[in-house]
Structure 1
Amino acid sequence: MKPYAEVIGDPIAHSKSPAIHGFWLDALGIDAEYRAMRVSPDGLAAYFDSCRADPEWRGCNITIPHKQAALDLVEDRGGVRQSIGAVNTVIRAEDGALIGTNTDAGGFYSPIAGLDLEGRHAVVIGAGGAARAILFALSKVGIGRVTILNRNVLKAAALLSSFGMKGDAMPLGSPLPAADLLVNASVLGMDGQPSLDLDLSPLPEDAVVYDVVYAPLETRLLAQARARELDIVDGLEMLIGQAALAFELFFGVEPPRDRDEELRALLVK
Structure 2
Amino acid sequence: MSLLYAEVIGDPIAQSKSPVIHGFWLEKLGLSGRYDRHQVPVEGLADYLAQRRADSYWRGCNVTMPHKLAILPLLDRLDPLAERIGAVNTVVREADGTLTGYNTDAAGFLEPLQPLLDQTHLFRMARVLGTGGAARAIVAALAERGFVVVLAGRDPAKARTMLDELTAQDDHHAIDLAHFAQATDFAFDDREQCLDLIVNASPLGMTGQPPLAFDFSHAPPRSVVYDIVTSPLDTPLLQQAREAGFETVDGLSMLIGQADVAFRRFFGATPPRAFDPELRERLTS
Q: TM-score range by the shorter chain?
A: over 0.9
The answer to whether the aligner puts 1:175 opposite 2:191 as a matched pair is no
Task: State the partner residue of 1:107.
Answer: 108
SS at the partner of 1:114?
A: helix
- 2:231 and 2:99 map into 1 onto residues whose CA distance is 30
Q: 1:118 to 1:193 in 2, by over 3 A?
A: farther
Check whether the contact 1:118–1:142 (CA below 8 A) recurs between aligned residues: no
- 1:81 and 1:75 map into 2 onto residues whose CA distance is 13
SS at the partner of 1:173?
A: helix
The answer to whether the aligner puts 1:39 opposite 2:55 as a matched pair is no
Correspondence 1:1-269 to 2 at 5 A: 1-80=2-81, 82-116=83-117, 119-143=123-147, 145-164=148-167, 165=169, 166-175=171-180, 180-269=196-285
Deviations 1:87-136 (A, max 9, x none): 00000112221100011000000100122467311111111110111011
| Identical-pair percentage | 51
Give the TM-score normalised by structure 2: 0.90
SS at the partner of 1:55?
A: coil
Give the TM-score normalised by structure 1: 0.95
Higher mean C-alpha displacement, 47-56 vs 171-180: 171-180
Check whether the contact 1:5–1:34 (CA below 8 A) recurs between aligned residues: yes
Q: 1:173 to 1:265 in 2, by over 3 A?
A: same
Check whether the contact 2:82–2:102 (CA below 8 A) recurs between aligned residues: no
Higher mean C-alpha displacement, 72-81 vs 98-107: 72-81
Amino acid at match of 1:28: L
- 1:127 and 1:199 map into 2 onto residues whose CA distance is 19
Amino acid at match of 1:229: G
Unaligned runs of 5+ in 1: none
SS at the partner of 1:242?
A: helix
Amino acid at match of 2:219: L
Amino acid at match of 2:268: G
Deviations 1:55-77 (A, max 9, x none): 11011000011001111111224
- 1:156 and 1:127 map into 2 onto residues whose CA distance is 6
- 2:86 and 2:78 map into 1 onto residues whose CA distance is 13
Check whether the contact 1:80–1:87 (CA below 8 A) recurs between aligned residues: no
Deviations 1:191-214 (A, max 9, x none): 011111210123123100000001
Deviations 1:138-160 (A, max 9, x none): 122111x2111111211111001
- 1:98 and 1:235 map into 2 onto residues whose CA distance is 28
User: How many aligned positions are there?
Assistant: 268
Deviations 1:158-207 (A, max 9, x none): 00111234222111220378681111111000001111121012312310
Check whether the contact 2:230–2:250 (CA below 8 A) recurs between aligned residues: yes
Aligned-CA RMSD value: 1.5
